[in-house]
């Protein structure tokens, strides 16, 4: 199971995504790729702050379609178990002098409780979280 960080999902939404990311995605078993409710929130926020209504509407529709077609039944939630893991992960990172952002901490916690690897461009954001990390940009 691989949890896609928001930067991987947003990369795939670009007009011209990074070729390495495309290659990596195509070499994965699609049923092993998951997203989190946190990524849905981040992408949805990014779409809604766009100034151009037409562009916003187009992206909103495309993202909704991608969720329904590509990630049906493969969305991981920030639930009670993840909330407890979040506290432990955030505390550890703070003790190391490398605090995590709230959203990255939530994604790390979701991955941890679901025994998922994290695919991300921002490897440093997830170091010392006891997670297997994958950088599709280096594929």
Please name each of the domains of the chain with its CATH number: 2-43+75-138 (3.40.50.1010)
Tens digit of pLDDT at every position of the chain (139 positions): 999 999 999 999 888 999 999 999 999 999 999 999 999 999 999 998 988 888 888 888 888 888 888 898 999 999 999 999 999 999 999 999 999 999 999 999 999 999 999 999 999 999 999 999 999 999 9
For the chain, the C-alpha Rg in angstroms (whole number) is 15
SS3 29: coil
The number of beta carbons lying within 10 Å of the beta carbon of residue 98 is 12
**Predicted model pTM:** 0.93
Give me the helix-helix angle, 80-95 and 102-113, nearest 10°.
Answer: 120
User: 129-136, long-range: CB within 8 Å, 24+ apart, which pairs?
Assistant: 129/89, 129/92, 129/93, 129/100, 130/89, 134/2, 134/24, 136/8, 136/18, 136/20, 136/21, 136/24, 136/25
């Amino acid at each position: 199971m691989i949890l896609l960080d928001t930067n991987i999902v947003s990369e795939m939404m670009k007009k011209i995504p990074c070729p390495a990311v495309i290659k990596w995605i195509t070499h994965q078993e699609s049923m092993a790729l998951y997203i989190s409710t946190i990524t849905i929130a981040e992408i949805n926020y990014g779409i809604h702050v766009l100034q151009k209504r037409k562009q916003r509407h187009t992206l909103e529709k495309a993202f909704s379609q991608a969720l329904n077609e590509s990630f049906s039944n493969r969305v991981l939630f920030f639930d009670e178990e993840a909330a407890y893991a979040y506290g432990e992960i955030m505390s550890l990172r703070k003790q190391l002098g490398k605090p995590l952002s709230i959203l990255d901490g939530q994604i790390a916690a979701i991955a941890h409780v679901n025994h998922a690897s994290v695919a991300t461009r921002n490897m440093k954001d997830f170091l010392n979280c006891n997670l297997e990390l994958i950088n599709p940009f280096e594929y």
